[in-house]
Amino acid sequence: MSYIIGADCIDVLDRSCIDVCPVDCIYEGDRKSYINPHECIDCGACEVECPTAAVFVDRKARKDPDLAVFMEDSRAFFELPLPGRDEPIGNPGGAQKLGVVGVDTALVAEY
C-alpha cells in the first residue's frame, strides 16, 4: 500500500504533506507533488495534513478509474524519463537529496 497525490494538488503545491513526511518520500515537480511508492512507509501523515484532500491511499485508486490515472501517473514520474531528463528518477532515497525536480509528467503538464 502507498499513498498517491491526485488532481487537487495541481497548481497548489501547499507543501504541508512534504513538511510532515517522516521519510522524505514526496517529490516536488513543477505543478504537482508525487509520492514515491517504494519509499513511502504508509503512515498516512500526508493524507491528514493535505488542505485540498489531494492525497489518497492507492486501494481507492484500484476502485475508481478517475483516481487510477494518478496512480499510473505517479509510477511514470519515478519510472520513466521526464522531459529534459535522460534517466528516470527511480528511488533516490529522499526528496531533499534530489531537490525540486521542477518538471511534471505529460498528464500533469497537459492538465
* The CATH fold of domain 3-110: Alpha-Beta Plaits (3.30.70)
Q: For residue 1, is pLDDT > 70?
A: no
The residue extents of the domains of the chain are: 3-110
| Cα–Cα dist 66/60, whole Å | 10
Phi, psi of 105 (to 5 degrees): -70, 165
Kindly give, in sequence order, each residue whose CB lies less than 8 Å from that of residue 11, ignoring residues fewer than 6 positions away: 31, 32
pLDDT by residue (tens digit) across 60-100?
888 898 899 999 999 999 999 999 999 999 999 999 999 99
Mean pLDDT value across residues 5-29 = 96
pTM for the model stands at 0.94
> pLDDT exceeding 70 applies to what percent of the chain?
99
Q: What is the mean pLDDT of residues 14-18?
A: 94
12-41: average pLDDT: 96
Of all residues in the chain, what percent carry a pLDDT higher than 90? 87
CA dihedral 110, 65, 51, 82 (to 10 degrees): -40
What's the grid cell of residue 84? 529534459
Mean pLDDT of the chain: 94
DSSP for 3-65, please give it. EEE-GGGTTT---HHHHH-TT--EEE-SS-EEE-TTT-----HHHHH-TT--EEEHHHHTT-H
